[in-house]
């Protein structure tokens, strides 16, 4: 009896044109690194794609919003961009498919230009954790050298937290570049403002760079406390 009911329901479904719902192929979801073959040589762009249940694609292509579809393994994108070198604005069209190596390959069109592209998953770089720990800063200021002790922690995304004197630190440390901006109060004047520190770590594990606070600016040098210059 149960088998008869199943067959009957199947026949009714076919008669009414019921759709068989396929599981959505979301194989292009996530981050990609595009390399474009152009008349001026290879151009590289990082992108992040999201595919919804209907196969609609959204996300970011560099700093531009993407739009298009990904269905049956075929990617079709069409969205406006502006070229940085020429200022030209127009639709960029990308048509491609996933190949046997799970890379995206296809063709692109922009204005009167066209070519091929290949996109692969970006290789995650190991996080540089050399900034973690205690530092002794020497700031070159109009009133002479000022010294400050700091302690930093870097997470897996390169975000920096910690202390700079009494102030809570916020910023980033990526590819050896330190970029901090946080509120602090000058003890001498009582002025509160954003202190910005931008620097890089050299091969001797010393941080050097520039600082800005209110209307003042200068350079700094920071080393581990046991390697800091004696004053």
Q: Does 21 score more than 90 pLDDT? A: no
pTM, two decimal places: 0.51
- Is there a common fold for 24-120 and 133-227? yes
CA angle 179, 185, 191 (to 5 degrees): 115
From 102, 93, 109, select the one nearest 73 (Cα to Cα).
Answer: 102
| pLDDT value of residue 183 | 96
CA-to-CA separations, 95 to 115, 192, 200, in angstroms, rounded: 11, 53, 40
Residues listed for the chain:
231
Identify the CATH homologous superfamily for domain 133-227.
Answer: Quinohemoprotein amine dehydrogenase alpha subunit, domain 2 (2.40.128.120)
Which CATH number does 24-120 carry? Answer: 2.40.128.120
| pLDDT value of residue 228 | 54
Sorted by where each begins, the domain ranges of the chain are: 24-120, 133-227
Name the one residue in this structure whose structure tokens are 């070229």: 83
| pLDDT value of residue 187 | 85
């Amino acid at each position: 009896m149960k088998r008869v009911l199943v067959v009957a329901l199947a026949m009714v479904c076919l008669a009414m044109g019921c759709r068989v719902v396929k599981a959505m192929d979301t194989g292009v979801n996530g981050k990609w690194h595009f390399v474009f073959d152009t008349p001026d040589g290879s151009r590289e762009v990082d992108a992040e794609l999201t595919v919804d249940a209907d196969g609609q694609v959204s996300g970011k292509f560099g700093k531009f919003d993407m739009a298009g579809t990904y269905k049956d393994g075929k990617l079709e994108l069409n969205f406006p961009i502006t070229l940085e070198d020429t200022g030209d604005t127009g639709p960029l069209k990308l048509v491609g498919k996933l190949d046997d190596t799970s890379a995206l390959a296809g063709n692109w069109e922009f204005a009167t230009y066209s070519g091929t592209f290949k996109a692969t998953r970006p290789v995650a770089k190991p996080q540089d954790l050399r900034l973690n720990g205690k530092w002794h800063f020497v700031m070159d200021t109009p009133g002479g050298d000022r010294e400050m002790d700091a302690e930093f922690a870097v997470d897996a995304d390169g975000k920096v937290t910690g202390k700079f004197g009494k102030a809570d630190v916020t910023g980033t440390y990526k590819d050896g570049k330190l970029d901090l901006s946080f509120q602090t109060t000058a003890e001498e004047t009582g002025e509160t403002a954003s202190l910005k520190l931008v620097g890089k770590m050299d091969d001797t594990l010393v941080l050097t760079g520039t600082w800005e606070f209110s209307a003042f600016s200068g350079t700094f040098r920071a080393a581990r406390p046991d390697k800091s210059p004696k004053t």
